Structure 1
Amino acid sequence: MPEPVILLHDLTKEFPADPPVQALSAVNLRVERADYMAIVGPSGSGKSTLLNTLGLLDRPTSGSYRLDGLETISMKDNARTTIRGSRIGFVFQSFHLLPHRSVLENVMLAEVYSAARRGGRRERAMRALERVGLPHRVDFLPGRLSGGERQRAAIARALMGEPSLLLCDEPTGNLDSKNTDAVLDLFDELRAQGMTIVVITHENDVSDRAMRRVRITDGVLTEE
């Protein structure tokens, strides 16, 4: 049986205070390849801490986090950075596109700080843009795109390294209902192609489209 993309065991995160603040409390979670999971919960529940932990941006206090079968807790920072760059794609509420660079250039920038070979970067960016339905916008500046198109460009950038996991933080928070539907349709297509997607959201219409929904409350995770 193949390793799950995400396997958390008794994962805990405490922040120093008096008394200490427990942002994640003995979290256990298994996410298989091609899963599409939504994480929901109120503000201050631990959603952002969990996202940062899954994205290897923050270290837990204790427990185990295996990503593609690799134990990440004991890894040194440079190894975690390499794994993050090669196996995780990030999509945020704010698109983080450079306004004076074309869509194609924005997507190509995903590899500037990675170990990916320089040769073929343009072709890989074009394939990513075709995958999200934006080949006709490659030379546009982000300001000429709709909100939905900007988010699709950001998703193309996240897909550049062929990641195992797509982590999305409120990806439709800046979109109207029409563009939200278009992005969610794209997530469905990516999941059907084998992409593993984890979405943090407070919107029911977003979490309803996922295959699974887990709720985090006061650092405790439960599957619905």
Structure 2
Amino acid sequence: MSVLDVLAEPELGTDPSAVIELVDLARQFPGDPPVHALHPSNLRVAAGEYVSVIGPSGSGKSTLLHLLGLLDRPTEGEYLLAGVPTSRASERDRAALRAGVIGFVFQAFHLLPHRSVLENVLLATLYSGVPRGERRERALAALDRVHLGHRVDFLPTVLSGGERQRVAVARAVVAQPHVLLADEPTGNLDSENSASVLDLFDELHRDGLTLLVITHDAAVSARAQRRVRIADGRLTEMP
């Protein structure tokens, strides 16, 4: 059975309303003694929630991000993404699930400098199953959604940091993912551009997109609907 077949069977998840569900998930690295980068953790993110995970350097944020993004496998427990158990899935199915379910936004933008704004977003449609005849229309719609419809022919090198991050958000949402996973999305931005990107996240949340933002910044974390702290590899809900 392919991952696309599994996506149609929400009963496989312990909670069919959850987009992200960690069940006693843990990551340990070998050593003497072994390093417990993530202790057994449970987390549920329902469809349409806006959740931040905040913690200092060395707290386990990167380990958690790699697990959530299907870039690494846990040593214990299960991670259900859109109801699909992923921990023992094949690499091919994990890659298909990652491309079809998760939109990524990174601190460093990762835009191609010699491709136009539109081309950067179009490239993302090649790997996410968007039908060929819909790619340009979907890319333009994504850029309109992040208020950059007037910049489609510009190169990223002439845009502000905030505009480049909004292009990265357009690239992340063009395939209509189940969840937007953002890693320190304002880390390279000044306060004004940070505010514009966080305002955009608020808009996407109001539109019903599920967001999970990993950050060390309390001001960024405070914008979320719900906050989780990570410290010494342990997750705890915040009031």
TM superposition score normalised by structure 1: 0.97
The alpha-carbon deviation at position 205 of structure 1 amounts to 1.1
**Aligned pair 1:119/2:133, yes or no?**
yes
Q: Which residue of 2 aligns with 1:90?
A: 104
Aligned-residue CA RMSD (Å): 1.0
Q: What amino acid maps onto 1:115 in structure 2?
A: G
**Whole-angstrom distance in 1 between the partners of 2:237 and 2:128:** 35
Equivalent residue pairs, number: 224
Q: What is the match of residue 156 of structure 2? A: 142
- Measure the CA separation in 2 of the matches of 1:67 and 1:139: 35
Deviations 1:65-92 (A, max 9, x none): 1111111112100000000000000000
- Pick the aligned partner of 1:19 from 18, 28, 33: 33
Determine which of 171, 178, 182 is the counterpart of 1:157.
Answer: 171
Question: What residue is the counterpart of 1:47 in the other structure?
Answer: 61
Greater CA deviation, 79-88 or 17-26? 17-26
| 1:197 counterpart = 2:211 | yes
- How far the C-alpha of 1:19 sits from its partner, in A, is 1.2
> Percentage identity across aligned positions?
62
Specify which of 189, 213, 230 is matched with residue 216 of structure 1: 230
Mapped to 2, the partners of 1:164 and 1:114 lie a distance apart of 12
Q: Which whole-Å CA distance do the structure 2 matches of 1:52 and 1:184 have between them?
A: 23
The runs of 5 or more residues in structure 1 that have no matched partner are: none
* 3-state DSSP of counterpart to 1:11: strand
CA distance in 1, matches of 2:154, 2:36: 45
Offset of residue 18 of structure 1: 1.1
**CA distance in 2: counterparts of 1:152 and 1:160, whole angstroms:** 12
Are 1:180 and 2:180 counterparts? Answer: no
Work out which of the residue numbers 174, 180, 204 in structure 2 matches 1:166: 180
The Cα offsets for residues 74-113 of structure 1, whole Å up to 9 and x where unpaired, read as 2100000000000000000001111110000000011223
Q: Secondary structure at the match of 1:5?
A: strand
Normalised by the length of structure 2, the TM-score is 0.91
Query: Following the alignment from structure 1 to structure 2, what is the Cα–Cα distance between the partners of residues 181 and 139?
Result: 25
Question: SS of the residue aligned with 1:198?
Answer: strand
Distance 2:129 2:217 in 1: 36
Deviation at 1:25, TM superposition (A): 0.5
Deviation at 1:2, TM superposition (A): 4.3
2:96 aligned with 1:78, yes or no? no
Kindly state the Cα deviation for residue 115 of structure 1 after the two structures are TM-superposed: 3.1
CA distance in 2, matches of 1:3, 1:65: 14
Out of 110-119 and 190-199, give the one that drifted further.
110-119
